[in-house]
Amino acid sequence: MNENPVSQPALPLSPALSQWLDELYTQARQQRLSDFKQWCFSSLQGLLRFDSALWATRSDLQKLKPDHWVDDTCLFKQPDEFMDNYGKVVMSANTPDPLNQHLAGHPGQFFSIWDCCPKEQWYLTDYYLKHCRLYGVENAISALTLPRENSVVRHVFSFYRSARDDEFSTEETLLADFMLPNLVEAIRINVLSTFSKTQHKGESFRAVLDRYGEILEAETGFCQLMKKKDLFDKNQVDKTRVDIPGLDEITSSDERTLKGLKIDIVFSDGLFYIEVSEGSRLGDLSEREYQILELLSNGLSSKDIAEMLSKNDPSHPIKTNTVNTHRANIYRKLGVKRKATATAYFLTHSVQE
């Protein structure tokens, strides 16, 4: 995981901006998700002037479903009913939100309302009359991010001003563009840092899912294991939704076994923190194979093992070639190719057993 500021287009790095970047990544590792987003807004006010703001993180931003919009959106200096009201306007409006439509086609940078819709037209829309005007949003710049690797979740950022003639300047929009990838990288660090507070068990893989089962962040091994066990939703073309029965019914924590996987689930701040591990394959070994693997893990060669076993049981001597045959069967059953890997697997899983 890269915890350094991401590469950026040229922009003068003032002392204040440099200090903000350092603090951003520090806070990302220390705060819980909901508190961290609020910290971001508060700290940004020292660099970018705005009256209120929004940060939405979810997998179905473009599906226009109002379910959980309130829960999945962090608001800054706007009331809780802000998103609920927006959802109602979306469902009743005759046309799509022009700003959201524009962002969907131009992800990765900030745009103002006027980049997407002529002023005279905007002031006649339901989005302005029934929502923006009601909550004092007269000017705004917004951005929609692209999905990241191993993730389909996207972020929407909006910064609002309450005076009609107080528009965001080109320089302010460029500054917001500079901050955007750093905010996304910082939230990734923040989400994954939850796991760093717990022991990472060997042969286990971790991911963070939103409430719909869509992957927000995941270790590569997690996706490989889900694919191997056929635990991606077959109805999803891109196979990003994990198919864990009853996931939406979990309100705190849960442990379960599914298709040979041990699954630990914690629900917090609207996200599922999941750790999966395969059951130990040591149980597939015969008694003799287990015995030989244990001796291999103690550093003995096949010849040494043959001599030791023959000495311990002279009535049943064993040849080096026989030990090598057992070794080949051990490697096949464990799914490894080398002694070092087999030894590491034994040392990790024999302790757990």
Residues 41 and 182 in one domain: yes
Domain boundary pick from 219, 251, 278: 278
Asked if the structure places residue 125 within a domain, the reply is yes
Asked if the structure places residue 7 within a domain, the reply is no
In angstroms, the CA 131 to CA 4 distance is: 38
Asked if the structure places residue 109 within a domain, the reply is yes
Q: Can you give the residue range of the structural domain that contains 273?
A: 200-278
Residues 66 and 147 in one domain: yes
Asked if the structure places residue 4 within a domain, the reply is no
Residues 109 and 159 in one domain: yes
Residues 231 and 343 in one domain: no
| Total residues found in the chain within this entry | 353
Return phi, psi of residue 160, to 5°: -120, 150
Residues 106 and 169 in one domain: yes
Residues 270 and 288 in one domain: no
Domain count within the chain? 3
In angstroms, the CA 298 to CA 197 distance is: 32
| Exposed/middle/buried for residue 61 (C-beta within 10 Å: 0-12, 13-18, 19+) | buried
In angstroms, the CA 89 to CA 130 distance is: 7
Given a contact cutoff of 8 angstroms between Cβ atoms, the answer to whether 43 and 23 are in contact is yes
Q: Is the pTM of this model over 0.85?
A: no
Asked if the structure places residue 8 within a domain, the reply is no
In 80-169, alpha helices (H): 81-92, 98-105, 119-122, 126-127
Given a contact cutoff of 8 angstroms between Cβ atoms, the answer to whether 213 and 228 are in contact is no
Residues 108 and 21 in one domain: yes
Domain boundary pick from 263, 278, 293: 278
The tens-digit pLDDT sequence of the chain (353 residues) is 334 444 444 566 788 888 999 999 999 888 887 789 999 999 999 999 999 999 988 655 545 455 555 567 889 999 989 988 988 898 888 888 898 889 988 989 999 998 999 999 999 999 999 999 999 999 999 999 987 766 777 889 999 999 999 999 999 999 999 999 999 888 888 877 766 555 445 567 888 888 888 888 887 778 888 888 888 876 665 667 888 888 888 888 898 888 878 888 988 877 898 988 876 778 788 999 999 999 998 889 999 999 999 999 999 899 999 999 999 999 988 888 888 888 877 876 765 54
Measured distance between the N- and C-terminal CA atoms of the chain, rounded to whole angstroms: 31
Asked if the structure places residue 6 within a domain, the reply is no
Torsion sign across C-alpha atoms 249, 253, 258, 263: positive
Asked if the structure places residue 313 within a domain, the reply is yes
